[in-house]
Amino acid sequence: MTTPETILITGAAGQLGRLVLADLQRRAVTAKLVGLVRDAAGARDLAEQGVELRVADYNDPLALASALVGVDKLLLISSSEVGQRSAQHRNVVDAAVAAGVRLIAYTSVLHADRNPMMLAREHRESEALIRASGLPFTLLRNGWYSENYAIGVAAAVEHGVVFGAAADGKLSLAARRDYAEAAAAVLVEDVARHSGNVYELAGDQAYTLADFAAEITRQAHHPVRYQNMPQDEYKAALIGVGLPADVAELLADSDARAAEGVLYEPGKALSQLIGRPTTALSESVASALAS
C-alpha cells in the first residue's frame, strides 16, 4: 500500500496559505496536509477541516526542524517581515534539507532576478538559498494581487479618487486565489514535472491605475479618477493615513517601479497552471464593493 505523501504549507493561517490549503483539499484528497502556524489557537478552524497543525516560527530553527520531519513537499510562503526574510527563509530551507524534503516551492516576486523593487532583494537572496540547497525546487514568482488595490475601493468611492505613483504603467493583476491555485497545482503533481522550473505568474490582462479607477466608476456609478503622485508625495500620503514609514516607503517604491513596467508580464503561465483564465479586475472590484 502506498503511503500518502505529506504536503506542508508555511504561513498556513495567512490569507494565501488558507486558500492553498482549501484548493489542496479539493485536489489532493489522499495527501496528508500539514499547516505550519505560529499560533495553533488562531488556526483551529484548519484543524477542524482535517489539516494537521505544526507550530513553529521562522526564527526558531529547532522548531522548524521538528515541524518538517516526514514532509515530502513544502510550500514556503514568503515571510511578511521585510528585512528579516532572508534569514528566516534560510532557517526553513535548512530544516527542509535536514528533513529530506522532495520538493520545495517558494512564493517569490515577478521577475525577481531583474526586478528593481526594494521588495525584490530578499526574494533574490531567498531564491539563491533554495538553489544552493540541492533540493528539487519550483519558484513561483507571483505578480501583484488585485487585492493590493481592491482593498482601497471603498475609500476611492468615498473620496472620488485613486492615489498612486504608477503613472500609466501596466500591471498584470490576478486575484490571490489564482496564485493559490497555481501553488496547489504544482504541489499535487509529480515532482519531476515542476522541479527546476521558474514560473513568472501574472494575470492574463494588464491594467493601469486609471483603468482601475474607471472600473470603480462603472460599477459604483460614482465618478472616481486616478491621481498620479511623485513617489515621495505618495509615501507621505500613505504615512498620513496611518501606515508605518517603512511600509509606506516599500509601497511607494513598488508603485513607482510599476510605472517602469516591472509588474507587467505578457506570458500566460498562471492561467496555464490553473487551467482557466485569471480573475478579471472587474470581478475583484465587484467583490470589494459587495463587502
In tens, the pLDDT along 187-212 reads 999 999 999 999 999 999 999 999 99
- Check if the beta carbon of residue 270 is closer than 8 Å to that of residue 200: no
Query: Percent of the chain, pLDDT > 70?
Result: 99
Rounded Cα–Cα distance for residues 94 and 233 (Å): 41
CA–CA dist 183, 172 (Å, integer): 18
- Please tell me the least confidently modeled range out of 92-96, 194-198, 240-244, 252-256: 240-244
Between CA 35 and CA 222 the distance in angstroms is 43
Number of neighbouring beta carbons within 10 Å of residue 191: 15
End-to-end Cα, the chain, rounded Å: 47
Q: Which residue has cell 528585512?
A: 83
What torsion do the CA atoms of 25, 75, 280, 273 make, to the nearest 10 degrees? Answer: -80
Coil, helix or strand for 231?
Answer: helix
Domains annotated for the chain, with CATH where assigned, are: 6-142 (3.40.50.720), 162-169+204-265+275-290 (3.90.25.10)
* E-only strand ranges, 222-283: 225-228
Give the count of beta carbons closer than 10 Å to the beta carbon of residue 290: 7
pTM of the predicted structure, to 2 decimals: 0.95
* Sheet order of strands, 73-76 included: 52-55, 32-37, 6-9, 73-76, 103-109, 137-142, 198-201
Element (H, E) at 173: none
CA distance 145 to 130: 24
Does 2 have pLDDT greater than 90?
Answer: no
How many Cβ atoms are within 10 Å of 79's Cβ, its own excluded? 21
Query: Whole-angstrom Cα distance, residue 83 to residue 278?
Result: 31
DSSP run (H or E) holding 256: helix 245-258
The pLDDT tens digits of the residues spanning 12-71 come to 999 999 999 999 999 998 999 999 999 999 999 999 999 999 999 999 999 999 999 999
Specify the pLDDT at position 247.
87
